Amino acid sequence: MKVVIGMSGGVDSSVAAILLKKQGYEVIGLFMRNWDSSINNDYLGNPNLNNNICPQEEDYNDALKVCEKLEIPLHRVDFVKEYWDYVFEYFLSELKNGRTPNPDIMCNKYIKFDMFVKEAEKLGADYIATGHYARIKDGKLLRAVDSNKDQTYFLSQLSKKQLSNVLFPIGDLEKPKVREIALEYGLITANKKDSTGICFIGERNFTKFLENYLPNIPGDIVDIKTNEVIAKHIGLMYYTIGQRKGLNLGGNEDRTYAVGKDLEKNILYVSDIEDYLITTEAIIEQVNWISDERPNKCTAKFRYRQPDNDVELEFLDNNEVLVRYPAGVKAVTPGQACVFYLGEECLGGGIIKEVRKNGQKLWYL
């Protein structure tokens, strides 16, 4: 059976390719170029990077070396336009609306498990594979064995059909074991640092990058309790609910949170009172169900590394769900994903549309 695996130039996809070969599959590597790194290239002068080559090309060269070592072919495909249309435009639109988007989820939905699949089919693939930390069993999407690396949160917008011919070879492994296998095979990616942050921004300065696409509109930072202007913000798009670092408030930074935004007045509200961040209900839109289960009670994550929260679901019209969490959760943020779980199974998820406290929509969110 032929498997086309997404080779990212990282250790996870490298080891996934090893495991597939050991299982007897015919393995073909496919590297996706999703972003034109020559656009707004401000990598020069960044001490964390090799300034002779952009990170994307560095990743491709690493993937090529791994594939040569494992004696598997590597193809390269360009999805720059598709990524711009389906992921980056969405990212900018959400920021303009004062929300906090999660482009990785849309990248999985439209690029890695759609455009990539079509390209893999041209190569005669029976299956596709990736280096995601997740598992599939009996048609169900399950959390990875390594709970610290589990990536089902980012797969929550995929359909059952998209997952029907997918393999996640490292889903049963802990991350240290993955690196151990890479070291055994002498792979260049064995000790390579994991990528973090938004893929198309990478190690670059977030503010400087966004200035190329959205105008900065400075405004007031207001203490929500006293209604006093205490500082200036550089543009609402640069802040997310619950944020503390980067507010530039002087000595109060460690104790003060961003708690809300007023788009019309261009105000960022802050407070040192954590209760302003606590909500008890949220409306979730664009809900995607992977599972056939539609429980009234389950758990949910409102952010990637957040612990599970006990929730109750009420199914509304227009593919929306009212999620109740009476114990209260901090910093549930419009634009982020809410992902539902029943034990080990990822049921699906949607996008946080609005948040409420004790049935009332909060005016500052």
- Tell me how crowded residue 19 is: count the other CB atoms within 10 A of its CB: 19
Q: How far is CA 261 from CA 135, 142, 245, 365, in A?
A: 38, 36, 17, 6
Residues 27/30/31/36 CA torsion (nearest 10 deg): 180
Closest CA to 128 of 143, 145, 151, 111: 111
Rounded CA separation 266/60 (Å): 42
CA contacts within 13 A on the Cβ side of 60: 16
**Residue 227 exposed, middle or buried by CB count within 10 Å (0-12, 13-18, 19+):** exposed
Catalytic residue among 67, 107, 298, 346: 107
| Residue 56 backbone dihedrals phi, psi, to 5 degrees | -65, -40
Q: Which two tokens stand for residue 229?
A: 């202007």
Residue 115 CA, distance from chain mean position: 18
Q: Is 199 a known active-site residue?
A: yes
Residue 107 catalytic?
A: yes
Task: Write the single-letter amino acid at 109.
Answer: K
- Show the 3-state SS of 135-181: EEECCEEECCCCCCCCCHHHHCCCCCCCCCCEECCCCCCCHHHHHHH
Residues 6+ apart with CB under 8 A from 19: 169, 170, 181
Structure tokens of 316? 């509304």
How far is 110 from 96, CA to CA, in rounded Å? Answer: 21
For the annotated catalytic residues, the residue numbers are 107, 199
